[in-house]
Structures are given as structure tokens and as C-alpha cells.
Amino acid sequence: MTDTHTATHPLQQPFRDAMASFAAGVHVITTDGNAGRYGITMTAVAPITDQPPTMLLCINRQSAIIPILSANNHLCINVLSAGQQDIAEHFAGLTPLSPEERFKYHIWHRGQTGQLQVEGAPAHLHGKITARHEIGTHHVFYVEINEIKISNTTEPVLVYLRRNFNSLK
């Protein structure tokens, strides 16, 4: 019997190539609590419903944030502007900074639940994980949003398209 989590599916690479044609917003997800502080760059972030406001996050099961996020149970979704590409690169591991050093290169504030939000981002959505499940290689987290901060910036947002960062007005 083949383990579907480790076997390579024949459509895996064509699927990845097709997904590269999808423009996606770029976010840095941060969590801080008893299990520690961590952040990652993500594009697999989507709204589900506005009653109650709930977001969906899909994170690879091998990501170092999984046990930290699961234990802390709270997070902040930082929507990045085009001028914040360096933040996206740091938290994606594209620079030599350690996970802890990534937080030292930017100005951070705390939301009502203590989660870190990066200064200058167009929006911050703070929330609590209310459910999760696994599918294939990923964990799917459902996050009920309990605090939203929106800045008045007119700067374009950062998107990821065709395996490159771009801006979108």
C-alpha cells in the first residue's frame, strides 16, 4: 500500500506549476506565547466567512512553526505591502537570518492578545485557532479573528506570482 503523504503524485509538479500562475497575497504569520515566538511567510491564506470572521491557513506539515503555533493557539496575520518585500524574504528563510533574528530587523507592536504585528503593514488580523485538520502534506488551520487593524496606507500590496514577488495596487 502506498502512503499518500510520502509518495510523489504524478500531478504534483504540474499542480505546482499551475499554482505559480495564481497571484497570491503575501503575509507573515506570527505567533508568540509559552511555546516561543516564530513567524513564517505565507501565501496560502484565505478568508472563509465574516460571521464570525474566520481565516484559513495551509501550512506544510514539516514547517517549524507547526508545534509552536499549535501550542500557542494565537497568531497574527500581517498583510504585507510592496515595500515590505524584505520582511517576506526574511520570514521565508531566503536570507541568512535565524528565526529569532528576523524579528530584530523590523519594528513590531503587540495586539490585544499579545501577538506581534509588523509596523507599516496594510492590515493585521489577530486570531485564535478554532479547528484544524490534515490533508496531504499540509495542516489546515481555521482561525477566528478577534482583532483587526487596518492602516491608511495607499502603498501597493505585495503579491507572489510566477515564483516572484510583485506589487499590486
Domain segments of the chain: what residues? 24-139
Q: What is the pLDDT of residue 7?
A: 62
Give the other-Cβ count within 10 Å of 78's Cβ.
Answer: 32
Give long-range contacts, CB 8 A cutoff, 24+ apart: 134-139.
Answer: 134/61, 136/4, 136/5, 137/5, 137/60, 137/61, 137/62, 138/44, 138/58, 138/59, 138/60, 138/61, 139/58, 139/59, 139/60, 139/61, 139/66
DSSP-assigned letter for residue 72: H
Task: State the Cα–Cα distance between residues 37 and 115, nearest whole angstrom.
Answer: 9
Q: What is the pLDDT of residue 2?
A: 40
Q: What is the pLDDT of residue 88?
A: 97
Q: What is the pLDDT of residue 17?
A: 76
Q: What is the pLDDT of residue 10?
A: 87
Q: What is the pLDDT of residue 101?
A: 96
Q: What is the pLDDT of residue 22?
A: 73
Q: Quick check: 123 and 72 in contact, CB under 8 A? A: no
In this structure, whether the domain defined by 24-139 belongs to CATH 2.30.110.10 is answered with: yes
Helix (H) or strand (E) holding 25: strand 24-25
Q: What is the pLDDT of residue 1?
A: 37
DSSP-assigned letter for residue 81: B
Q: What is the pLDDT of residue 97?
A: 96
**Blockwise average pLDDT, block size 10, the chain, 169 residues:** 58 78 89 97 96 97 96 98 96 96 95 95 98 96 97 90 84
